[in-house]
């Protein structure tokens, strides 16, 4: 069953659209506060389609993600009572509690590291708001952590170029399933 190849082709078509940078910004914002799909799924193909614009795309994604992160922070700070039942119903409560523990242990460093984990970034931004983390350090750590992640994606895509596109097309199905399995394993490990 070919599941990921058609999605990859669709992402490549979207990445060539004239409004793609706007879509990327919206996706970066939404993922940091409430949406489950990471912006990497658009950032990587956009960079492959237009390598000369990759750095600009990384900046757009970083800034939109940080603004979305501030929105997630505000959700946690002002409206956690409204979203707490949602965290329970979608099975994220235990993950949220684990993240709270990480905040206690690691402080601001967990925001930097959050950009690289498979755990949804929005849980970190909301938790930062719930815990009333200082906003300026939160923003700075978000810029560094998210920026490092998105610039790394662009670096790999530019470095790989057409070879990367050919590799992605060849292995996208296997890669997609590996990511799904890794996410499930990470979820199980966090839940236990």
Domain that holds residue 153: 4-191
Residue for token pair 């910004």: 25
Separation of alpha carbons 30 and 150, rounded Å = 15
Q: Is the dihedral of CA 173, 175, 177, 179 positive or negative?
A: negative
What per-residue confidence (pLDDT) applies to 71? 97
What per-residue confidence (pLDDT) applies to 91? 85
What's the structural domain count of the chain? Answer: 1
Q: Residue 104 corresponds to which tokens in the numbers above?
A: 């206690």
Separation of alpha carbons 39 and 115, rounded Å = 12
Average pLDDT by stretches of 10, the chain with 192 residues: 72 80 92 82 86 95 96 95 90 89 90 80 92 94 94 91 76 75 71 63
Among 144, 146, 145, 153, smallest CA distance to 51 is for 153
Backbone φ and ψ for 48, nearest 5 degrees, come out as: -65, -40
How many Cβ atoms from other residues are within 10 Å of residue 69's Cβ?
A: 32
Confirm whether pTM is higher than 0.95. Answer: no
């Amino acid at each position: 069953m070919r599941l990921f190849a058609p999605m990859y082709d669709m992402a490549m078509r979207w990445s060539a659209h004239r409004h793609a940078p706007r879509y990327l910004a919206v996706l970066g914002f939404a993922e940091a506060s409430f949406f489950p799909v990471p912006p990497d799924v658009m950032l990587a193909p956009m960079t492959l389609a237009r390598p000369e614009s990759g750095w600009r795309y990384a900046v757009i994604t970083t800034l939109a993600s940080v603004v979305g992160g501030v929105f997630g922070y505000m959700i946690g700070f002002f409206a956690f009572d409204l979203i707490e039942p949602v965290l329970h119903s979608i099975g994220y409560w235990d993950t949220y509690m684990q993240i709270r523990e990480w905040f206690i242990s690691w402080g601001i460093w967990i925001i930097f590291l959050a950009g690289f984990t498979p755990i949804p970034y929005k849980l970190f931004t909301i938790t930062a708001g719930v815990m009333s983390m200082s906003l300026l350090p939160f923003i700075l750590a978000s810029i560094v952590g998210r920026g490092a992640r998105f610039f790394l994606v662009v670096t790999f895509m530019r470095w790989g170029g057409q070879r990367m596109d050919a590799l992605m097309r060849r292995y996208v199905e296997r890669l997609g399933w590996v990511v799904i399995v890794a996410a499930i394993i990470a979820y199980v490990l966090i839940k236990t």
